[in-house]
Amino acid sequence: MSGVNDIRSTFLDYFKKNGHEIVPSSPLVPRNDPTLMFTNAGMVQFKNVFTGLEKRPYSTATSSQKCVRAGGKHNDLDNVGYTARHLTFFEMLGNFSFGDYFKENAIELAWKLVTEGFDLPKNRLLVTVYSEDEEAATLWKKIAGFSDDKIIRIPTSDNFWQMGDTGPCGPCSEIFIDQGENVWGGPPGSPEEDGDRFLEFWNLVFMQFEQTEPGVRNPLPRPSIDTGMGLERMACILQGVQSVFDTDLFRTLIGTIEDTMGVKAEGSASHRVIADHLRSSAFLIADGVLPSNEGRGYVLRRIMRRAMRHAQLLGAKEPLVYKLLPTLVQQMGRAYPELVRAEALISETLKLEENRFRKTLERGLSLLSDATTDLSKGDMLDGETAFKLYDTYGFPLDLTQDALRAREIGVDISGFTDAMQRQKAEARSHWAGSGEKATETVWFELREKHGATEFLGYDTETAEGVVQ
């Protein structure tokens, strides 16, 4: 049985044997990078090494990086519970070359690990390459013996990675496994690519250009490699299951939810969402994020409150999520000791937030149900009600959207924004008479300038270093 702990060490040991330095995961809150909400790829901690700004005593490295993709550019929050492969928190295994080896070695190393180390059947594997990267296609033919139909040429930005508008960039090549005809979906690039039949599990990025201005790319003198493999997706493949939620770690977490709640999972989105959100909340708190009304803290609050709504759906009458924490710590504490160190803080934070939110959650949900009794599939909840839920009951907008999703009812976002603006204007007019105009003006200007971060998080992040 290949549990996540075995997979992680197989990966790291393999690259160590091949001369790579094992580098620990960096925290989920990126150091010195206010443009990025959370660490969302293995390469984030090496950004400055790739650009040459920072020197390290090694030229090749490997890591297992904690990642969160919720909020910001890569936001998988709405996917969780609804696809078989997306989590908000996951571990990205990676190998990196800083001007050391390049494309041919990277493909060779990956192919050998996948087919020998992990022993995946060659005939079920296929790859994508960037349509202009004939070199990669030729190398895959040579190294893996692939015929042309196993090498899918993709012309879109999905297979061209960029650190930002300028800086290092290059084509990428992704490795997929065919999970069989009985699973719905089509190969990458086809109209059915969103299905689960073809599962992407490893992305190899070939950083070979430097973009100086949009459209102008010069070859890098010492091209580099950045790869990312989803640990939970590899577990899914090796354990012969089709969803990350059916892997050992998630089965254990979901089992604890079933026992605590007395409600069987039977594929329910709620169990999945709670298990995933518990992981992201716990790891974010361990890395110093606390629930708040803006920025990173608000993303955490949104995640926690979403989990709580799903706990409520399962019939929870008292705080539930914190009760699941010991199981998570038991499963992941050895690999991530910060989880053990922060266990009491995480537990208290979860409990406090659940207690604070529970009463308004119940009232808000009943308001929501009254407001939507006459609505049906394709209808919209009015913005006023969505805003009232946000403002009076503490419902993040995405929680309301998630609550209506199963009934295929949308939310009038522009109505929501209008209601918020109206409230701001009203508050402003009340303040006008208070005799503290100078301070107020400054305060409102600041708030205006920074936008409505209280519900959208860092929506404007730009120079993001992520694997595509």
Site for Mg ion, rule CB under 5 A: 200, 203
Among 47, 85, 103, 277, binds ligand ATP (CB under 6 A): 85
69: contact with ligand ATP by CB under 6 A:
yes
d(C-alpha 383, C-alpha 410), whole Å: 10
d(C-alpha 234, C-alpha 384), whole Å: 44
- Binding partner of 252, given ligand ATP, Mg ion, none, CB within 5-8 angstroms per partner class: none
18: contact with ligand ATP by CB under 6 A:
no
- Please give the distance of CA 140 from its chain centroid, rounded to a whole number: 29
Among 200, 258, 294, 461, binds ligand ATP (CB under 6 A): 200
Nearest distance from residue 61's CB to ligand ATP, in Å? 17
Nearest of 218, 211, 215 to residue 166 by alpha carbon: 211
464: contact with ligand ATP by CB under 6 A:
no
By beta-carbon proximity to ligand ATP, the closer residue of 92 and 278 is: 92
Nearest distance from residue 86's CB to Mg ion, in Å? 7
228: contact with ligand ATP by CB under 6 A:
yes
Nearest distance from residue 91's CB to ligand ATP, in Å? 8
Q: HSE-up of 210 (CA within 13 Å, CB side)?
A: 10
202: contact with ligand ATP by CB under 6 A:
yes
Please name every residue paired with 384 in a beta bridge, in sequence order, or none if there are none: none
Nearest distance from residue 103's CB to ligand ATP, in Å? 17
106: contact with ligand ATP by CB under 6 A:
no
Among 20, 103, 197, 233, binds ligand ATP (CB under 6 A): 233
279: contact with ligand ATP by CB under 6 A:
no
By beta-carbon proximity to Mg ion, the closer residue of 187 and 255 is: 187
220: contact with ligand ATP by CB under 6 A:
no
417: contact with ligand ATP by CB under 6 A:
no
d(C-alpha 126, C-alpha 173), whole Å: 10
Find the helix packing angle between 413-432 and 437-450, rounded to 10°. 160
Nearest distance from residue 72's CB to Mg ion, in Å? 12
- Binding partner of 265, given Mg ion, ligand ATP, none, CB within 5-8 angstroms per partner class: none
d(C-alpha 259, C-alpha 238), whole Å: 27
Residue nearest to ligand ATP (CB): 230
**Helix, strand, or coil (residue 93):** strand
Nearest distance from residue 244's CB to ligand ATP, in Å? 6
- Would you state the structure tokens that stand for residue 197, as one six-digit string? 């039949």
Nearest distance from residue 79's CB to Mg ion, in Å? 8
- Binding partner of 87, given Mg ion, ligand ATP, none, CB within 5-8 angstroms per partner class: ligand ATP
User: Following DSSP, what letter does each residue of 186-222 receive, concatenated?
Assistant: --TTSTTTTSSSEEEEEEEEEEEEEEEETTEEEEEEE
8 A C-beta contact, residue 367 and residue 381? no
> First and final CA of the chain: distance in angstroms?
30
Nearest distance from residue 362's CB to Mg ion, in Å? 34
d(C-alpha 443, C-alpha 455), whole Å: 18
By beta-carbon proximity to ligand ATP, the closer residue of 229 and 403 is: 229
232: contact with ligand ATP by CB under 6 A:
yes
- Would you state the structure tokens that stand for residue 208, as one six-digit string? 């070979």
90: contact with ligand ATP by CB under 6 A:
yes
Nearest of 172, 173, 174, 166 to residue 207 by alpha carbon: 172
**Helix, strand, or coil (residue 222):** strand
By beta-carbon proximity to ligand ATP, the closer residue of 202 and 390 is: 202
423-448 in b/e form (b: 16+ CB < 10 A) is eeeeeeeebeeeeeeeeeeeeeeeee
8 A C-beta contact, residue 394 and residue 304? no
268 to each of 80, 275, 346, how far by Cα in Å? Answer: 12, 11, 26
Residue nearest to Mg ion (CB): 203
Tell me which residue has tokens 């997706």. 233
By beta-carbon proximity to ligand ATP, the closer residue of 247 and 347 is: 247
By beta-carbon proximity to ligand ATP, the closer residue of 50 and 90 is: 90
Tell me which residue has tokens 């709640």. 261
- Binding partner of 92, given Mg ion, ligand ATP, none, CB within 5-8 angstroms per partner class: ligand ATP
Q: In this structure, what DSSP letter does residue 182 have?
A: T
247: contact with ligand ATP by CB under 6 A:
no
**Strand pairing class (151-154; 160-162):** unpaired
Using CA atoms in the order 92, 401, 199, 240, what is the torsion angle rounded to 10 degrees? Answer: 90
Window contacting ligand ATP (CB under 6 A); options: 87-95, 122-130, 132-140, 428-436: 87-95
Nearest distance from residue 193's CB to ligand ATP, in Å? 9
Nearest of 131, 154, 151 to residue 141 by alpha carbon: 151
**Helix, strand, or coil (residue 68):** strand
Among 101, 201, 393, 416, binds ligand ATP (CB under 6 A): 201
- Give the binding site for ligand ATP (CB under 6 A): 69, 76, 85-87, 90, 92, 200-203, 228-230, 232-233, 466-468
